[in-house]
Amino acid sequence: MKDWKEYEVEPDEGVFEKVERRLKMRRLWRVGGWTAAAAVVVAVGVLVATMRPTVPTQERERVAEKAVVPTMPAEVPVVAEATDERPETATPTAAVLPTTAVRETVAPVVAATAVQSATSEPAKAVAETAVAAAPVAKPAPAPAAPKAEAEPVRTAGGEGEENAVAEGTAEVHAAKAGEGGTTPTVHEDNVVWVPNAIAPHSDVDDVRTFRMVFTSTVDNFNIQIFNRRGMRVYSSSDPQFQWDGTFDGSDVPQGAYVWVATFRDTSGRLRQEKGTVTVVR
Amino acid sequence: MNVYNDMDSMGYAEMVEGCRRHDAAAQRALYDATAPMAMGVCMRYAASREDAQDMLQDGYVKVFERVGQLRDSKRLMSWVYSVMVNNAIQTCRHNRFERLASDMEPLTKPLDLEPYLMQDIVAAMQQLSPRERLVFNLFTVEGYSVDEVAKRTRTTNVAVRVMLSRAREKMREALS
């Protein structure tokens, strides 16, 4: 039997250098993304604070009364809210690449409340990546289009699961900031649905695991999930993955986790999506 | 000179540890130790040497980004090999499907590759279509079953059998 590991061919010179360059670019992209987003958080936060001081309070009240205990299946009210604020829901799954920037509308408010949230730097930064990608005053057309296409996603998903999580005021703020409820995001070629919170020990099946739903097949899929200190707790290259909130066999602590997914969509473009998912015990 | 030149597991351990810390010297050492084998893999799956080098590049970006997943440094070679194969599958999986002639084509006689030199085999492989080459490699060289090949390339068993049969015929032709 031939041992094909012994079949060796010398590559040309320079391949390694190209690899190094690409690795460096990718690292810069990641780091640059965070710092750029963080800078925008501050900028937009200041802007909003001076422009719309009352909105956050109103929203806060609305969310507070609609905050749902994780295991509660009756999340219809949150659904309604989510649809109203559909553009914000795009926030957690914002694309790093500026080309797919169609998601903002109430993003400024998101920024304001997110600044106050207790989530970690990366999580905040992620939430504002969408803001970074779009101007502050994005008009209403955004909600209309995504909304129409979001419906089939929910039914396609089969369950319309909403994972509104309310634990403490910090999370309530975060929930208000577009992270309460479903977060369907409309992209040109794939519609992605991800929960923004999971409750691994819930009685309700649908909220137990973190997964992504696509409307068409994707390639080169890779997802990684990190805790606030940047330690990776999960990774997979299977688009049908499901993360049950464990690391090395044991439950991870309650809190916010950041996920980063890369894949090639049906138009062949390489995409990177990020978001946060809150693990509730 | 290259500190990591000896190929025993101690050298591998240092290499891997260094790569986890993004140390450039360790990365260079790992590349030097594994590149010829990795290039061999890519040559089998790619249509030409240029495509093979592109695939090699993509593969090594993945190797260095995922080196943290390698638990046992003694398995460095096997691990790099599998990263390269998986990268090849993901790259080649994109290729469009040729139209299938019939639904139930029986599998042709297996092709015994033993009598031939590896470089001749690879040269013959480059005459196959991308899909045929992918399937032929996965089945004949990596040893996956038809079911596994279908799963990894995201197609049906029928399609795999058809590709395999066509590949075998072309290989037989090219090698004789």
CATH number for B81: 1.10.1740.10
- Per-residue pLDDT, averaged over A5-23, amounts to 94
Best of B55, B60, B95, B142 to substitute, by most chain A Cβ atoms within 10 angstroms, is B60
Domain enclosing residue B83, as ranges: 9-92
> A–B: how many Cβ contacts below 8 A?
77
Distance from C-alpha of A276 to C-alpha of B92, rounded to nearest angstrom: 32
Helices (H), chain B: 9-20, 24-45, 49-66, 76-92, 118-125, 130-136, 146-153, 157-175
Give the separation between CA A204 and CA A108, rounded to whole angstroms: 33
Distance from CA of B105 to the nearest CA of A (A): 27
CB B140 within 8 A of CB B112: no
Nearest to B94 among A12, A22, A219 (CB): A219
Task: Examine the domain organization and report whether B134 and B61 are in the same domain.
Answer: no
For A1, the 3-state DSSP assignment is: coil
Query: What confidence tens digit (pLDDT) does each residue in A60-106 have?
Result: 555 545 544 444 444 444 333 434 444 444 344 433 333 433 344 33
- Domain assignment present for residue B108? The answer is no
What are the extents of the domains in chain A?
A: 15-279
Determine, yes or no, domain membership for B1.
Answer: no
Type of residue at B79 = W
* ipTM for the complex shown: 0.81
Domain boundary among B92, B126, B145: B92
On whether residue B164 sits in a domain, the answer given is: yes
Tell me the chain A residues in contact with residue B35 when contact means C-beta distances shorter than 8 Å.
10-11, 15-16
Measured between CA atoms, how close is A223 to chain B, in angstroms? Answer: 12
Closest CA to B76 of B25, B23, B11, B138: B11
Q: What does chain B come to in residues?
A: 176
Q: A135-147: per-residue pLDDT in tens?
A: 433 444 434 443 4
Which chain B residues have a beta carbon less than 8 Å from that of A9? Answer: 36, 39-40, 43, 52
Could you tell me if A94 and A192 are in contact, meaning their C-beta atoms sit under 8 angstroms apart?
no
In angstroms, the CA A154 to CA A5 distance is 47
Collect all residues with Cβ–Cβ distance below 8 Å to B175 and sequence separation of at least 6: B116, B120, B121, B124
Q: Quick one: B88 and B141 in the same domain?
A: no
- For residue B106, what pLDDT is reported? 66
Instruction: Read off the tokens for A191.
Output: 């519609």
Same domain for B69 and B127, yes or no, is no
Which CATH number is B139's domain given? 1.10.10.10
Q: Is B122 in the A-facing interface, judged by CB distances under 8 Å? A: yes
Smallest CA–CA distance, residue B142 to chain A, in Å, is: 9
Domain contains B107 = no
Q: Are A198 and A207 in contact (CB under 8 A)?
A: yes
Residue B109 lies in a domain: no
In order along its 176 residues, chain B shows pLDDT tens digits of 344 445 554 589 899 999 999 999 999 999 999 999 999 999 999 999 999 999 999 999 999 999 999 989 899 999 999 999 999 999 988 766 555 555 555 677 888 899 999 999 999 999 999 999 999 999 999 999 999 999 999 988 888 998 999 999 999 999 98
3-state secondary structure of B46: coil
- Asked if the C-beta of B24 comes within 8 angstroms of chain A's C-beta atoms, the answer is yes
Q: Could you tell me the two tokens for A80? A: 């309604």
pTM: 0.46
Nearest CB to B36 within list A8, A18, A22: A8
> Tell me, what DSSP letter sits at residue A271?
E
Residues B131 and B85 occupy one common structural domain: no
Among A213, A38, A3, residue whose Cα is nearest residue A121? A38
CB contact under 8 A, B60 and A15: yes
First to last CA, chain B: 45
Which residue of B61, B69, B75, B151 is the best one to mutate when testing the A interface, meaning the one whose CB has the most A CBs within 10 A?
B61
Q: What is the mean pLDDT of chain A?
A: 66
Strands A232-236 and A246-247: unpaired
Q: Spell out which residues of chain A touch residue B90, defining contact as CB-CB under 8 Å.
A: 219-220
Question: For chain B, how many structural domains are there in total?
Answer: 2
Q: One-letter amino acid identity for A157?
A: G
User: Does B84 contact A at CB distance below 8 Å?
Assistant: no
